[in-house]
Every structure is written in structure tokens, then in C-alpha cells.
Amino acid sequence: MPGAPTCTTCGEGKYFGSTGSPSQYDCASCPVGTYSNSPGAAACTDCEAGHYTSGTGTVTCTDCSPGKATPSPGQSSCADCAVGRYQLTSGGDGTCTACDAGTIATSTGSPICISCAGGKYENGARTGCTNCVEGTASNPGASECTTCDHLAGYVATGAENDQCEYCGPGFKADQTAHDCVACEVGKYSIGGVNECLTCVVGEGKVQGNVGQSNCVSCGAGKKAVAGTTNACVNCPSGKASLGGSDSCGDCADGSHSDEGSAVCVTTPPGFYFDSTTNADVQCPAGTFSTSGANNLAGCGSCDGPGQFSSIGSSYCSVAGAGKNPLSGRNGVENCAAGKFSEGGGE
């Protein structure tokens, strides 16, 4: 009918909760933390978690920026993520997420977490990194440091190591010093060990230098000597060695050797070894040696009935019939006139 009042719809960002309103001015603005995007709304809607409104009469909510969140729906502002937590996206789900193990957020309002560098580890609260101590190491993004395996030859000298150091040939891993230490004299290593191996002197092996990867094998004519010497030493005269030993063997009777000999030389029959000239010498006439003598005294005398010998003889000869040995037993002579010999006599 003419002059009758008409109803007015409340616009966006406003609401009116009852019917029969006499005036559009009875429409109220949505309070902070809420919104209305539909005309004629009877109530305003809370902003969802991760969104907010800071003023009244709002049609839409604003996303929280990265690094911020809202604790619950209907908020008028966003709060910074705490240290050790982050929010990557705008809006998000309204909560800040704890950094993963090995990563940290050192300040409030962080949109991301960062990895701890190599040689450090995350402190457990996701708020900072701590240096690895001596003897340990870590890769980037580690939540703990790993102890270097010294039994396998690995060490870490000093703090903040991003990897363990391998102790190579000639060295050992010292757990106390946390360092690669050179093998001592008389020892060796091929690397990757915590103890150097001892050269076996009884097998003719020595090492006179430090930091070596193998032993020296003593060859023919030498013997291995340990202690302060730790070297291969020539066998002395009268001894010999084929190598691979810590001793030289004595030459048997009737044989001899020069210094550094692998084998002994046998003195032939009819000779003796002269240590002064270091040579085999013929036994003098009137003497003999059946298998070689060690010295002149080893040449036997031809002093039996009718015996004699020439120089270098291996046996004594016997004077024949009508002959006698000379006085020096170095030959024979005819019997004098008026005398005779049937042989083998004086």
C-alpha cells in the first residue's frame, strides 16, 4: 500500500540479527576477526585459522604472511612463529611447524628452517647449532656428530670437522691424539689401522725408518737385526745365509765364506783355507787333506811307514821297492848302496 515501510537488506561486511528493523542504520559492522561477504547476513563469520581481520566491517579475511600464524579462528592479528618453528606459506593451516631434526630457526617469525653446517649438529631444541668435538664429525643437516672409527684408521683433529680423516699407509689412527701418527721404527702399516704392525725379525724383516708402509726383507748373505739397528747386516766371514732370517749359519768343517755370503764354499781335497789371504791354499808337500781343511793345521802329516806326498795332495803315497821317503816326506830317494827296501819302509 502507498506509504508502507519497506525492508532494506544489510550490505556486505554488516549483519543484523533480528527481523522487522525500521532502519538500515540498524545494520552493524562485522567486528574484528570476522567477516561477511553475503548481503543480508544474520551473523558474521570468524576468520579461519591462518587468516585475520584487523578492522570492522570486513568482507574478506587477510592471509597471515609466511612466518606467522593464528592460534585459533576469529583473530585480529597474526603471531610470529616461535624460535625453532616455521610457517612456509601465506595463510597455511594456522599453526607453526617444528623444524626437522638437523635444522633450526634462530629467530621468531621464520618462514623456513636452515640446516646446520657440516662439523656442527642441531642442539635438540631446533634453535641453534653446536660444534662437533674433537674425534667426531658431521655432514650438513646432522642432528648429532658421529665418532670417527679409529679402529678403521679414521680420526678428527680439533673441533668442527665435517668429515673424518683417513690415516693412510705408514700411519696409524691415534685415538688419544685424534691424529694420524707415523709408524715407529721397526713397524709398518698399509693404512686404515689404529696400530702399526711389527716387522718379524725372525723372518728376516726390518724397518729402520718411521712412517713406512712395508718391511724390508733381508736377502741372501744378510741377517735381520732388530733393536736400535733395525737393518739388514752382512753375515761375517765363516757364516752364510740364504736370507729371510735373523741369523747366519756357521760354515761346516772344510768350508768357508767371505763376508755377506749366501752359501759356504767347500775347500777341495788337498787344500786348506788360509784366513789371512781369504783363499784356499794347497797343503804343503808331506801333508794331505782328504776333504779340505779349515786351516794349515788341518792338513795331516804323511808320517806313516814309507809315506810321502807332493804339494796339494789329498792322500799320502807309499814309497815303492828300492826307495825311501825323503826326510821331509815330500818325495822319495833310491836306497843307498848296500841297502835295499821292499817298499813301504823307511
Which pLDDT tens digit goes with each residue over 86-135? 999 988 788 999 999 999 999 999 999 999 999 999 999 999 999 999 99
The average pLDDT across 205-210 equals 96
The average pLDDT across 338-343 equals 72
Of 108, 44, 94, 86, give the one whose Cα is nearest residue 64: 94
Contacts of 199 (CB under 8 A, 6+ apart): 186, 187, 188, 205, 206, 207, 215, 216, 224, 230
Q: What is the pLDDT of residue 23?
A: 54
Give the model's confidence band at 216: pLDDT under 50 very low, under 70 low, under 90 confident, else very high.
very high
Neighbours of 193 (CB within 10 A): 18
Q: What is the pLDDT of residue 287?
A: 96
Three-class DSSP category at 247: coil
CA dist., res. 196 & res. 247, Å (int): 25
CA dist., res. 219 & res. 196, Å (int): 23
Which pLDDT tens digit goes with each residue over 166-197? 999 999 999 999 999 999 999 999 999 999 99
Amino acid at site 89: T
Q: What is the pLDDT of residue 2?
A: 56
Give the model's confidence band at 18: pLDDT under 50 very low, under 70 low, under 90 confident, else very high.
low
Residue 276 has pLDDT above 90, yes or no: no
Q: What is the pLDDT of residue 17?
A: 65
**Average pLDDT for the chain:** 91
Of 346, 324, 320, 344, give the one whose Cα is nearest residue 334: 324
Determine contact, residues 274/249, Cβ cutoff 8 Å: no
Determine contact, residues 178/155, Cβ cutoff 8 Å: yes
Q: What is the pLDDT of residue 4?
A: 57
Strands 205-206 and 216-217 come out as antiparallel
Q: What is the pLDDT of residue 7?
A: 72
Give the model's confidence band at 346: pLDDT under 50 very low, under 70 low, under 90 confident, else very high.
low
Which pLDDT tens digit goes with each residue over 219-261? 999 999 998 889 999 999 989 999 999 999 999 888 889 899 9
